[in-house]
Amino acid sequence: MKNKKIKEKKGSFPELDLLLVKEDFRKTFSWRIFKIMAEFVEGFEFISKINKKSAAIFGATRFQPDHPDYQKAQKMGRLLAQEGYSVVTGGGPGIMEAANRGASEVGGQSVGINIELPKVQRGNQYVNQSTSFYYFFTRKVMISFSSSVYIFFPGGYGTLDEFFEMVVLLQTQKLSHSVIIIAVGRDYWQPLLNWLEKDVYGKYQAITKKELGLFELVETPEEAITYIKNNKRN
C-alpha cells in the first residue's frame, strides 16, 4: 500500500515542526565553548608578543580630536612610548584612538585589543598591532594580563567597568604581576573618589581605608608619567 501524502498546516504537529527547523550550530553550547577556548588561546598568543613594559589606556569613544581629553590621551600615548612602553587600547575611536595616535607618532608599539560589535566600526588607523574578540569577558582577561600600567580617562559604562575590574583584581590579589592604576582628570574622577571615601568606606565600611589607595588620581599626562617612574611596584 502506497503511503499517502498528508498535508497538514504548520503548527498541527509542533514536535515535527521543531525537527524541520535547521539548527544554527553557532548558537549551540558546544560551539560557544570551543569559540571561547579559541579566543583565549589566540589572545594569550597575541599578548605574549607585546612588550612586557606596556600601558593600557581607557576612555570615552565619543571624544573627537578637538576635545581636551582626547588631546591629553594623545600626549599620554606619546610620553609613554618615549619612555619605552607599548601602548595598549581597545583599538577603537575617541580616547583609544588618541592614545594609539600619540604612540604611533613617535614610532612606539601601538596595540589594539578590539571587540566585535554589530554595525559598529571599532578600529582606528593608528594601531600597528591588533587582534579582536567576540566576547567581552575574554577580551577583558587579555587586557588584564597585557600591561603593568592601567590609565583611565573620563568615559562611560565601559570605562567604568574596566576601571572597577582592575581595582577589584588588584584588591583581591588575583593578578599575576604588580600593576599601577591611574585615573586622569580630577573634574571627572574626584566626585567618584569622594563617594568611595564618604559612603562606601566612611558610611558603609564596605572597603578599608587602605583600599582607597589602590589607584592614583592625577590631572595631567606629565603627572601620570612622574607617578609611574616613582612607583616602586612598576
Please state the domain extents for the chain: 54-230
- Distance of CA 76 to CAs 100, 207, 215, 219, Å? 10, 31, 17, 11
Residues near 79 by Cβ (< 8 Å), separated by ≥ 6?
A: 102, 221, 222, 224, 225
Closest residue by Cα to residue 142 from 48, 31, 34 = 48
CB 162 within 8 A of CB 152: yes
Q: How far apart are CA 161 and CA 208, in angstroms?
A: 21
Helix (H, G, I), strand (E, B) or coil at 31: helix
User: What is the chain's pLDDT, residue by residue, as a tens digit (234 residues)?
Assistant: 444 444 444 455 454 444 445 556 666 778 888 989 999 999 899 988 887 899 999 999 999 999 999 999 999 999 999 999 999 999 999 999 999 999 999 999 999 999 887 766 568 999 999 898 988 899 888 988 889 999 999 999 999 999 999 999 999 999 888 999 999 999 999 999 999 999 999 999 999 999 999 999 999 999 999 999 998 654
CA triple 211-216-220, angle to 5 deg: 165
Quick one: pLDDT at residue 31? 82
Q: What is the pLDDT of residue 4?
A: 45
Residue 20's pLDDT is what?
A: 47
pLDDT of residue 146: 86
Q: Which fold has domain 54-230?
A: Rossmann fold (3.40.50)
pTM, whole model, 2 decimals? 0.84
Residue 81 and residue 100 in contact, taking contact as beta carbons nearer than 8 Å: no
Beta bridge pairs of residue 57: 151
pLDDT at 70: 98
pLDDT in the model for residue 121: 53
3-state secondary structure 148-175: CEEEECCCCHHHHHHHHHHHHHHHCCCC
